[in-house]
Every structure is written in C-alpha cells, then in structure tokens.
Amino acid sequence: MTRLRGGAVAAAVVLIAVAGCSKEKTKGASGSERTGGNGAVLAAVDSLPVKGRAPKTGYSRERFGTAWADTDSNSCDTRDDILKRDLKDLKFTGGTCRVSSGLLEPDPYSGKDITYRRGRSQVDIDHVVPLSDAWQKGAEYWDASKRIALANDPLNLIAVDASTNRGKGDGDAATWLPPNAAYRCTYVADQVAVKKKYGLWVTDAEKAAMKKVLTGCPNQNLPTGGNPTKAPERFTAR
C-alpha cells in the first residue's frame, strides 16, 4: 500500500490543496489502492459503529495466531514481506525472503532515518490498529481465521522505529498519534480503512480524534486492498 512519509506528506498536502480533489484511484507499491479525496475518508469514519471499549479479558497475542504466518502463501513470512515493502537498500540472508539489513528512510512515526539490522530492535513491524485494541472492539467475537487475517494483513502493518512504537502500546487515535505530525493524516486514514474492512467499532473519543485529524486534510485518500479477511484453513487447524 502506498504510504507517504515525512516531507513527502507535507508536499502532497500542498499539491492536493492547489490542484483540488481527485476521484481517481492510485496504485501503491504494495498493490493496494487509495480511493481519491472528496471526503471519502471522513465518510468512512462516519460509517464506523460507535460503542464503548470492551474489557481486555481473554486477550493474548496467541488469539491472533502464530506471529507472522505466511498467509499469502508466497513462502516468505509476513514480517519479511513488510520489511521488503517498506525498507530500502535491502540485503538478504539466503535467498530473497529473509531480510538481513536495510534502511527505513524516513521512519513514518518519528521522521528519522533508521538502519535495520536483523537481530537488533531498531525497527518494529507495527499493527496500525493494535491487536489488543481490535480485541476490545469486536475481534473477541470473531473466528480464528479472521483474527489471523487481521494480524497478517499488509493494510494493517508498517515498518517503524521501534522506540517510538513502544510508546504507542495498544492506544487508539484518542490516546496516541505519531510524533511526526506530517504523517498523522495517513496514519489515521489507515486505521479507518482497517476498521472499516474488518467491521471493528470505535469509541466516541476515538471517532472525535479521527475526525479532528482528518478535518485538516479532507482530501486524504482512503486505502483499500490487502489480504482477504479470512486466513487459509491450514492456519486455523486445532
């Protein structure tokens, strides 16, 4: 999925403001699309169901399957798929799956350039909608295949600076936004897209926070695409 970062975001906002809204779809590097402007993302926010946050009772990472399963059957695990999508200057260990090093330029959350080396913790693969947040807003009631799909969907995943990401925890838009203000419109639009795709709800405070951010960028595109919302049967066998 196309993810504008750093200064590119600010430049894009200026260009859109000058050129006006576009209804066209743009194809991103990951194969996803972003539906063009005209308030599409704000309309998507309004379409999300609003409820209170449910208890975290029963949540564990394991309820969303084994970490980084190869749900798209490309013989590479999901983590390496996202590293390959989001990093530059890639180097591999044995073949073209296992990323050994690369450059995150820039990190969307902090705006800094981060060097990735396997075995160190400078880069995380973040769930844009945290799995715990999803659990408390509908995923508790899903079958296993849908939870596994969410955990491995490229639409919900992004390579980011590890230290910045650790401060996010399982926060939603009402409690955490990227320190890099230029990326916030893209970040919130991504959260809206994931919640809409999977039928997750938002709280009143979360919806208000999303609209506050997106009102400042009414032509922000709404991403689509990613993996199906049901994982292959082999990942859900008991």
- What average pLDDT score do residues 49-76 get? 96
* pLDDT value at 20 more than 60: no
Label residues 167-179 b or e (16+ Cβ within 10 Å = b): ebebebbbebbbe
Answer with the residue of higher pLDDT: 26 or 150: 150
The pLDDT value given to residue 17: 34
Confidence bin at 21 (pLDDT 50/70/90): very low
- What average pLDDT score do residues 30-38 get? 53
Domain hosting 106: range is 6-235
| pLDDT one-digit tens code per residue, 135-145 | 999 999 999 99
* pLDDT value at 14 more than 80: no
Number of domains in the chain: 1
Residue 79 falls inside a structural domain: yes
Residue 133 falls inside a structural domain: yes
Residue 184 falls inside a structural domain: yes
159/109 Cα distance (integer angstroms) = 9
Residue 1 falls inside a structural domain: no
